[in-house]
């Protein structure tokens, strides 16, 4: 059945949701996006995602006045009309439609659309997953801290590692572990400290990453935001990824090396539970 899509102020069936060839998202990946998770019909951390959307727009010098409350109503109508119980709402905003030129202007109206997707896996059950990762040299572009639709390298790498039997790639930037193709990455070190890469421009400032860090600090965990190598990961007690639709999902194997052999990940479990309890819902 066709789903409902929001496009430039109108709700239309997906077949009618079309954009011009000259949309700058098509020609230059000149677009930003957000993905907000829906659990039991409720949006998780919607306002934090909208804050990051505003940050992405500012970083790319895109002029658009984000009306958070109006867009919340759009999200909620799509969730209701498309009967999304567990899933997500995707929002994309491009610099608009213009003749192809490397020199942009902010005169065109931005193109904004939202659609929904159902999730096969109930996000509350992500704790039961056991991800396999393969470490991979960084090859993406340099503006990794902005959530843009410039995702081709990540897509190529994800497809390659999945053919090798893994779930995702873990990027190494100048020898340091950063993130996966679509999630942030944490370890519990040999010493029992929760460790994740700092926001140094080599990774996306994940909304879930920040929630998990805040919850970990508040819960009294020892936390370090610092650089770490793949050798430290191999020796870790636990590893997990975070993203809007993954919450905190355990990693069981990296480069064929087994982590959590006994299938036990107490820190990940604790943070997953705290996240589900505490994340703001709309």
Ligand X SMILES: Cc1ncc(COP(=O)(O)O)c(C=O)c1O
Question: Is residue 148 involved in binding ligand X (CB under 6 A)?
Answer: no
Size of the site for ligand X (CB under 6 A): 13
Question: Is residue 179 involved in binding ligand X (CB under 6 A)?
Answer: yes
To the nearest whole angstrom, how small is the minimum distance from the Cβ of residue 251 to ligand X? 14
Taken in order 73, 206, 162, 260, is the CA torsion positive or negative? negative
Three-state DSSP class for 265?
coil
Question: Is residue 123 involved in binding ligand X (CB under 6 A)?
Answer: no
Pick between residue 96 and residue 140 the one whose CB is nearest to ligand X: 140
C-alpha dihedral over 50, 55, 61, 66, to 10 degrees? 20
To the nearest whole angstrom, how small is the minimum distance from the Cβ of residue 24 to ligand X? 20
To the nearest whole angstrom, how small is the minimum distance from the Cβ of residue 89 to ligand X? 12
DSSP conformation class of 55: H
Pick between residue 97 and residue 243 the one whose CB is nearest to ligand X: 243
To the nearest whole angstrom, how small is the minimum distance from the Cβ of residue 207 to ligand X? 4
CB neighbours of 105 closer than 8 A, spacing ≥ 6? 98
| Of residues 26, 48, 34, the one with CA closest to residue 148 | 34
Three-state DSSP class for 112?
strand
44-83 footprint of ligand X as x/- string (CB under 6 A):
----------------------------------------
Are the C-beta atoms of 240 and 248 separated by less than 8 Å?
yes
CA dist., res. 184 & res. 203, Å (int): 8
Pick between residue 133 and residue 244 the one whose CB is nearest to ligand X: 244
DSSP conformation class of 14: G
Question: Is residue 208 involved in binding ligand X (CB under 6 A)?
Answer: yes
Pick between residue 209 and residue 272 the one whose CB is nearest to ligand X: 209
Q: Which of 32, 78, 204, 254 binds ligand X (CB under 6 A)?
A: 204
Pick between residue 97 and residue 185 the one whose CB is nearest to ligand X: 185
| Of residues 267, 275, 124, the one with CA closest to residue 210 | 275
What's the residue count for the chain? 282
Question: Is residue 182 involved in binding ligand X (CB under 6 A)?
Answer: yes
| Of residues 166, 73, 88, 148, the one with CA closest to residue 120 | 88
165: left (phi over 0), alpha (psi -120 to 50) or beta: left
Contact set for ligand X, span 240-279 (CB under 6 A): 242-244
Name the residue with tokens 């109930």: 122
To the nearest whole angstrom, how small is the minimum distance from the Cβ of residue 28 to ligand X? 19
Using the contact rule CB under 6 A, the part of the chain among 109-117, 205-213, 231-239, 266-274 near ligand X is 205-213
Pick between residue 98 and residue 275 the one whose CB is nearest to ligand X: 275
To the nearest whole angstrom, how small is the minimum distance from the Cβ of residue 191 to ligand X? 25
Three-state DSSP class for 155?
helix
CA dist., res. 49 & res. 273, Å (int): 21
Q: Which of 132, 158, 209, 272 binds ligand X (CB under 6 A)?
A: 209
Using the contact rule CB under 6 A, the part of the chain among 8-16, 96-104, 181-189, 223-231 near ligand X is 181-189
Interacting residue ranges for ligand X, rule: CB under 6 A: 35, 179, 182-184, 204, 206-209, 242-244
């Amino acid at each position: 059945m066709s789903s409902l899509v929001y496009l430039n102020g109108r709700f239309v069936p997906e077949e009618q949701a079309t954009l011009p060839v000259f949309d700058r998202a098509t020609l230059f990946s000149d677009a930003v996006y957000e993905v907000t998770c829906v659990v039991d019909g409720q949006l998780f951390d919607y306002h934090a995602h909208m804050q990051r959307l505003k940050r992405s727009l500012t970083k790319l010098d895109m002029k658009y006045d984000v009306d958070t409350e109006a867009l919340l109503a759009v999200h909620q109508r799509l969730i209701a009309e498309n009967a999304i119980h567990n899933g997500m709402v995707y929002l994309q905003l491009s610099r608009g439609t213009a003749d192809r030129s490397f020199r942009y202007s902010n005169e065109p109206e931005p193109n904004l659309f939202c659609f929904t997707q159902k999730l096969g896996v109930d996000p509350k059950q992500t704790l039961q997953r056991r991800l396999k990762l393969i470490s991979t040299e960084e090859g993406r572009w340099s503006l990794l801290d902005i959530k843009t639709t410039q995702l081709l390298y990540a897509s190529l790498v994800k497809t390659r590692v999945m053919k090798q039997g893994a779930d995702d790639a873990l990027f190494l930037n100048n020898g340091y572990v950063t993130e996966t193709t679509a999630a942030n990455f944490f370890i519990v070190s040999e010493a029992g400290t929760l460790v994740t890469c700092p926001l140094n421009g080599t990774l996306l400032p994940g909304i879930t990453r920040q929630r998990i860090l805040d919850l970990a600090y508040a819960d009294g965990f020892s936390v370090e935001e610092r650089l770490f190598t793949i050798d430290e990961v191999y020796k870790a007690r636990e590893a997990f990824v975070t993203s809007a639709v993954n919450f905190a999902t355990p990693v069981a194997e990296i480069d064929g090396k087994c982590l959590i052999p006994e299938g036990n990940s107490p820190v990940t479990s604790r943070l997953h539970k705290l996240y589900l309890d505490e994340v703001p819902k709309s």
